[in-house]
């Protein structure tokens, strides 16, 4: 195995690097954190960008990553030209200004700074619980990220629910879109009460009635014995539904149950006595009827 020494150009938060890369050419940049804060790294040009992750491997990078760095901590980046043409690039370090959100709040208005097309928010759970974040605004997109700096994922229907433990932290990014983007949006943070959830028992099918597209139903299930389980959703009429499962601060994609169809997903390594929660709601594209009246059935089985 051949081991090559990497010669990386040092970069700072005050300067933008730019240049050209020939076909198949690489360039390396290394940043040493000047403050204990959050950073992102912005690139331009049709250049492939990777960074060295915590396992020491080069990994895909997106401008939507957030890095929570301590003073002196280092990050190594590789820019690659995988095309057949000479390409221009820029590479810059951006120190983020992040607004901290309160524990829970009624709908509160925020403003995207005029000098920017987006803003960042941070939330830290004060206690264990289930929290729903609702973001509304014209011509905006909203995203979230785990504290490990994973790729930011979009909010579904402007809303996302998390099962958080005390001290869990994640970031939210709001982007203004279009030629005349709005600079204002609202956020509401609601702590859900599992005591009000419908009880789901293994091997007992539960039917949920929906009378509007905005309706949300919650299910709570206590695990009877160690093992893996599967959740099955069925719909025998003309409406599409989603089922989100919340466990251990997981950021899972919702299970899609199509009109007149069924679907299932596995939930693994559960312990007896654990609770797992499910959020069920119609698709925003579901049914064009004037009167919305639909049923979805949920079943949990040992897997």
Share of the chain above pLDDT 90, in %: 41
Tens of pLDDT along 134-182?
Answer: 998 888 888 887 655 555 677 766 888 888 889 888 888 888 887 666 6
Q: Which of 146, 48, 36, 55 is nearest to 95 (CA)?
A: 36
User: Is there a shared CATH topology between the 9-95 domain and the 98-192 domain?
Assistant: yes
> In sequence order, what are the beta bridge partners of 280?
217, 243
Residue 109: burial class (beta carbons within 10 Å; 0-12, 13-18, 19+): exposed
Q: Which residue has the tokens 């941070």?
A: 122
List residues bridging with 219 in a β-sheet. 198, 278
Stated as kind and residue range, the H or E segment containing 133 is strand 129-136
pLDDT value at residue 35: 92
Q: Domain ranges for the chain, please list them.
A: 9-95, 98-192, 195-302
Residue bearing tokens 């933008």? 16
Would you mind telling me the total number of residues written for the chain in this entry?
303
What pLDDT, on the 0 to 100 scale, is given for residue 143? Answer: 81
For residue 68, what are its two tokens? 């929570």
Are the C-beta atoms of 186 and 110 separated by less than 8 Å?
Answer: yes
CATH classification of 195-302 is 3.40.50.720, yes or no?
no
The CATH T-level fold of domain 98-192 is: Jelly Rolls (2.60.120)
Output 269 or 197, whichever has higher pLDDT. 197
Contact in structure between 223 and 270 (CB atoms under 8 Å): yes
- In 147-240, where do the E strands start and end? 153-154, 159-164, 169-176, 184-192, 198-199, 206-210, 217-222, 227-234
CATH code reported for the domain at 9-95: 2.60.120.380
Instruction: Examine the pLDDT at 209 and tell me if it is beyond 70.
Output: yes
Closest residue by Cα to residue 39 from 78, 12, 9: 12
Element (H, E) at 177: none
For residue 173, the model assigns a pLDDT of 87
Position 1 scores a pLDDT of 46
């Amino acid at each position: 195995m051949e081991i090559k020494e990497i010669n990386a150009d040092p970069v700072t938060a005050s300067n933008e690097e730019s240049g050209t890369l020939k076909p198949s050419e690489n360039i390396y940049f290394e940043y040493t954190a000047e403050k204990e804060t959050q950073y992102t790294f912005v690139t331009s040009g049709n250049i492939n960008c990777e960074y060295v992750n915590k396992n020491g491997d080069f990994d895909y990078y997106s401008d939507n990553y957030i890095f929570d760095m301590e003073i002196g901590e280092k990050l190594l980046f590789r820019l690659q030209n995988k095309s057949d043409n000479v390409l221009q690039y820029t590479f810059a370090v951006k120190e983020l200004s992040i607004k901290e959100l309160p524990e829970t709040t009624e709908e509160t208005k925020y403003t995207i700074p005029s000098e920017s097309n987006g803003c960042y928010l941070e939330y830290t759970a004060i206690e264990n619980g289930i929290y729903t974040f609702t973001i509304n605004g014209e011509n905006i997109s909203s995203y979230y990220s785990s504290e490990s700096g994973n790729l930011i994922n979009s909010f579904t229907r402007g809303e996302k629910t998390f099962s958080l433990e005390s001290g869990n932290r994640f970031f939210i990014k709001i982007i203004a879109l279009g030629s005349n983007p709005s600079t204002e949006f609202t956020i509401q943070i609601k702590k859900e009460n599992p005591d009000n959830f419908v009880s789901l028992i293994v091997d007992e099918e539960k039917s949920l009635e929906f009378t509007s597209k905005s309706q949300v139903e919650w299910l709570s299930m206590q695990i009877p014995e160690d093992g893996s389980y599967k959740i099955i959703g069925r719909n025998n009429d003309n409406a599409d539904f989603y089922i989100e499962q919340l466990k251990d601060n997981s950021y899972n994609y919702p299970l899609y149950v199509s009109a007149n169809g069924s679907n299932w997903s596995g939930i693994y390594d559960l312990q007896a006595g654990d609770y797992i929660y499910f959020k069920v709601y119609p698709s925003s594209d579901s049914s064009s009827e004037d009167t919305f009246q639909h049923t979805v059935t949920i079943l949990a089985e040992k897997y």
